[in-house]
Amino acid sequence: MADTDSLIRPREAVAAQQGTARLWPLLLLRPVLDALAVALGALIGYQYRFHVSGVPIPGGQVPSFQEYAMAVPVVVGLWLVTFLATGRYRVRRGQSYVDEILSSAGSVALFVILALALEGLYRGFPYSRLVLADASIAALLLFMVDRAVVRVVQSALLRSGYGAVRVLLVGGGEAAELLIRRLRMFPEYGYRLVGQVVVPGQPEPSPDLSLPSLSMEDGLGRVVERERCQLVVLAGVGPHEQLLEMARACLERGAEVKVAPDVLEIMTSAAGSEEVAGIPLLGVRPNRLVGVNLVLKRAFDVVGTLILAVPAVPVVAVCALGIVLTSPGSPFYGQERLGYRGKTFRVWKLRSMVPDAERETGPIMTRENDDRRTSVGRVVRRFSLDELPQLWNVFMGEMSLVGPRPERPFFARRFEQEVPRYRERLEALPGVTGWAQVNDLRQGSGIEERVFYDLYYIENWSLAFDLKILLLTPWRILFHRHAY
């Protein structure tokens, strides 16, 4: 549930905050760890500047440590006030570690600016700005460590149900099913689905989702009370009047209300707005991978590939040797895939299966515990090492570091018939990794969900988005659930 969802949050909607209130240890842990990080960073900054860096000291005499130690409480207090004022101590469910660090950059920059201002105003002692710079870098690195610790604790608490928000889903259709699957896939978000209310005229929920079906016979407000719901998600419930009436009933019971898009074909999360003659208009954002953006992305790919090739080459060599020693045949495997705008190309991988693995079955998807995998193949597939040779495809311009994963023509033809907008994925170079993959959507998940995430990426592309996906990829490789 992203912060960009449509929200209705009057003062009466307080029940959803009860779950967060139970997470008070986290609310306390963040500032405590931050204070330790900043204090330790300040001490490291002093020691590095005057005893390690070797930069000449004006006057040749090391300044008094006592003066710098006395400034530590002020610096710590300034950091805490800055982060509190910019909302950095809120519990944010569903936010990735990379997003949390990047979104804190503005708060860190504000802290540095305020610290420089205080240093300029204070005349009692000439503090070194190099110490402030070194201390800020050390504090930032320690801050990244303490946020990782907090995330481990938060995920453990939310997975166990402590501090979880009780969620009621009202409505049906593809959007509702996607929401159910995603919240179940990531229990660490802290959303516990208590049931689904299907509005008359909407499709019945899929049996494989096994979510309790609740009756609205006595009114939605009664359901919210009976199930002690803290958050109600309205998914394509019908006309404006009906939606507002339902929202009002939930708000009167103290539940927070969020509105999900009613159709997946309309990428509301990618919508942009503008004002014409004082009237706000909403428009669907087009493909951003055109013109100069393509040039920027290609430059990013070339530089990134050259950097990644340094550690990748020895890893590929070791894996290839292991494959040769344990299985007959070449260690590399080329397979035809669909690329940019439907052009076919040969994607390269480390061979993880026995030779001619599809000789008897024809083209089939890899299955969990697939017995066609070799002993080394199980390892390279588990950690996605078989994809490393695709850096060559990136260097040759057939692929990008980030983009929709390329599909085999046999499956692509079938998906085009079954999934709306599937072919629009081909408007971007296929990627070694992608937005769907870092959200744990791989072969073991539905193709519809992967298409949804791929189209979101294409319509919201930026170099920062590519960098974010690359940073998230190692984490997802270690903790994925759907790669076989």
pLDDT digits (tens, 9 = 90+) for 107-140: 999 999 999 888 888 877 888 888 889 999 999 9
Per-residue pLDDT tens over the stretch 269-314? 445 555 444 455 545 556 678 888 899 999 999 999 999 999 999 9
Buried/exposed 81-98: b ≥16 CB within 10 Å, e otherwise: ebbeebebbebbbeebeb
Per-residue model confidence as pLDDT tens digits over 45-100 = 999 988 888 888 877 788 888 888 999 999 999 999 999 998 888 877 777 788 88
- pTM of the entire structure? 0.66
Highest mean pLDDT among 149-158, 164-173, 381-390: 381-390
pLDDT value at 32 more than 90? yes
For tokens 């969620």, name the residue: 167
pLDDT band for position 9 (cuts 50, 70, 90): very low
- Residue 307's alpha-carbon distances to 233, 299, 301, 303, 395, in angstroms, are 44, 13, 10, 6, 12
Q: What is the pLDDT of residue 304?
A: 95
Lowest mean pLDDT among 40-54, 235-249, 319-333: 235-249
Hey, what long-range contacts does 366-371 have (CB within 8 A, 24 or more apart)?
366/443, 366/484, 367/484, 368/444, 368/484, 369/484, 370/484
Confidence check: pLDDT of 435 > 70: yes
HSE-CB for 411 with a 13 A CA cutoff: 14
Asked if residue 265 has pLDDT above 60, the reply is no
Comparing 13 with 345, the larger pLDDT belongs to: 345
- Does the CA dihedral 426-430-435-440 come out positive or negative? positive
Residue 317 has a pLDDT of: 95
Q: Is the pLDDT of residue 14 over 50?
A: no
Domains of the chain listed by start with CATH number = 6-16+163-263 (3.40.50.720), 23-159 (no CATH), 292-479 (no CATH)
Instruction: For residue range 389-411, list pLDDT tens digits in order.
Output: 999 999 999 999 999 999 999 88
The percentage of the chain sitting over the pLDDT mark of 70, rounded to a whole number, equals 85
Average of pLDDT values for 146-152? 89
| Structure confidence at residue 331 (pLDDT) | 93
Of 236, 241, 283, 279, the closest CA to residue 459 belongs to 283
pLDDT higher for 442 or 135?
A: 135
